Structures are given as structure tokens and as C-alpha cells.
Amino acid sequence: MTYDALDPDRQTAFWAAILDRPHDGWVVLPASDEPATMPIRFVLSREAKVDRPHLHPDLTSSSPGEQEATVARALGLGARHLDIGQGGDEGHVVLADPEGNELCVIEPDNDFLAGCGRVGCLAGDGSYATGHFWSAALGWPLVWDEGEETAIQSPAGGTKISWGGTPLMTSSQKWRPHLDLVPSADSGVADEVARLVALGASYADVGQGDVAWVVLADPDGHPFCVQPRPPTAGWGSSPTLGR
């Protein structure tokens, strides 16, 4: 997942500390001892955050003590409590990172996130159609399909991605977090774009100009990027969420 950030270095350091993961200066790397997880990248943007993100991480806890420690560590590193209309009797804690991006620290014994690793879920704003689009795009099976709510997970396990169904949030600005995809080793950007468009994606203009990647939007209009496959390790198999 990629975040636009006013201060990428600070954001990278914050998230690396919260997740207890290594980083290479701009990417928080997956933990080697967790199930399949995705890296988190921060790229420089001059646009301050205004709206709630359409994706946010849910962090898991193995005990009440660990949940409390994660919240305390986050607050000490510059996070703050965030009111999004929750009732106050929920087991999870809603925070905002130093640039105001939402995250939740989930209570222990949450059955939905059992075995998912530290980043248990990317909780998304999205319709039923978008959940099924991403299932087909990534080759990740549906692990929840009830009413308009959907969730997918890699066959290798790890982080889930979920969508809450309609009504959808609206945004007056470019979405700050988004997903990056890279083609398989035997494919290219053009082939991957064609495949995704055939599944229901559309071309999107977020002011990217002349760049090496292609910006598309899912069926709900949320942008994501198809990036060229770099000559470096760590990007996994495809279609994959790249860094």
C-alpha cells in the first residue's frame, strides 16, 4: 500500500516502530516471521490530508496488554485518538497517525483477524462489486461475502482486505492511500492494464502526468497504480501488491 505524505521519512519511521518492522528509508518492509503481508510505502505529496481515507489498517493484538502497549507507543510517537463517530463501547481503539491517517488497534480474540499477522486487515470503503473486482484482480478468494460486505485474503494467508458496502464515502481530493500492483514476471504493464480493464477497472487521471506507471480506478472510482516490475526482490508473485 502507498500513502501520500507531507513527511515521508517521519511516516516511515512511525509505522516501522508501530509494526516493529525494518524499513529501508521509505518503505516499511514485511516481517519475515509473519504470514504473507504487504509493504507500506510513503511518497512525498504537498496536499494536506482533508478527508478520511478509504482504506485504513487494522492492527491485531495478542492480549489486552499488547493492545494497550501498541496504543501507548503510537501516542508517544505522535498519533492521537480519533473520533469517527464510534460509540465508545467498542473493543478496538481508533487512532490517527502523525498526518491524520486513520488506523485501528483491534482487541485480542477477534475471530475475523485470527492468524492474519500484525496488519490484520486493510478495512476499506467499497461496494460489493469492488470486493469481487479485487478478488478477481489479485486472485485472492473471498473469505467473507455477506450482504454487501466482502473480504478477500491471499491463499498464503496474511493481511485481509475488506469492504463495508454502500453507502460510500465521497472525497474532495485525491485519495491518500492506494494500492500498487506489479505485473507477473512473464507479463508487462500494458498486458496487466488490459486484464484489469476487462475486469471492470477504468483509466484515471489524478494529475500524474507522463509517468512510467498507469493509474486506474476500481469500480467505485478509487485509484490504484500498475507499476513496472523493478529488477529487485521482494515484490512477490503476480498479480501482487507491490511496494
Q: Which cell numbers hold the place of 125?
A: 470503503
As for how many domains the chain has, the answer is: 1
pLDDT at 238 over 60: no
Residue with cell 501516542: 75
pLDDT at 243 over 50: no
Q: First vs last Cα of the chain: how many Å apart? A: 7
Q: Do residues 62 and 108 lie in contact, with contact meaning Cβ atoms separated by under 8 Å?
A: yes
Three-state helix/strand/coil letters over the chain: CEEEECCHHHHHHHHHHHHCCCECCCEECCCCCCCCCCCEEEEECCCCCCCCCCEEEEECCCCHHHHHHHHHHHHHCCCEECCCCCCCCCCCEEEECCCCCEEEECCCCCHHHCCCCCEEEEEECCCHHHHHHHHHHHCCCEEEEECCEEEEECCCCCCEEEECCCCCCCCCCCCCEECEEECCCCCCHHHHHHHHHHHCCEECCCCCCCCCCEEEECCCCCEEEECCCCCCCCCCCCCEECC
- What pLDDT is stored for residue 165 in this prediction? 93
Please choose, from the candidates 163, 187, 167, the residue with its C-alpha nearest in 3D space to the C-alpha of residue 238: 187
In degrees, rounded to 5, the angle at the alpha carbon of residue 121 between the alpha carbons of residues 23 and 135 is: 110
- What pLDDT is stored for residue 92 in this prediction? 95
**pLDDT digit string (tens) for 57-91?**
999 999 999 999 999 999 999 999 999 888 878 89
**pLDDT digit string (tens) for 202-234?**
999 988 888 889 999 999 999 999 999 765 544
**pLDDT digit string (tens) for 112-128?**
999 998 999 999 999 99
pLDDT at 237 over 80: no
Side chain identity at residue 47, one-letter code: E
The chain-wide mean pLDDT, for the chain, equals: 88
**pLDDT digit string (tens) for 87-107?**
878 899 999 999 999 999 999
User: Which residues, in sequence order, are CB contacts of 136 under 8 Å at separation 6+?
Assistant: 199
pLDDT at 182 over 60: yes
- What pLDDT is stored for residue 45 in this prediction? 87
User: Which residues, in sequence order, are CB contacts of 44 under 8 Å at separation 6+?
Assistant: 4, 5, 6, 8
Cα 63 from Cα 134, distance rounded (Å): 32
pLDDT confidence tier of residue 50, bands split at 50, 70 and 90: low
Please choose, from the candidates 155, 151, 161, 112, the residue with its C-alpha nearest in 3D space to the C-alpha of residue 128: 151
pLDDT at 172 over 70: no
pLDDT at 111 over 50: yes
| CATH label of the domain that carries residue 154 | 3.10.180.10
pLDDT confidence tier of residue 175, bands split at 50, 70 and 90: low
- What pLDDT is stored for residue 173 in this prediction? 58
The residue range of the domain holding 167 is 2-241
pLDDT confidence tier of residue 167, bands split at 50, 70 and 90: confident
pLDDT at 138 over 90: yes
Q: Do residues 192 and 239 lie in contact, with contact meaning Cβ atoms separated by under 8 Å?
A: yes
pLDDT at 189 over 80: yes
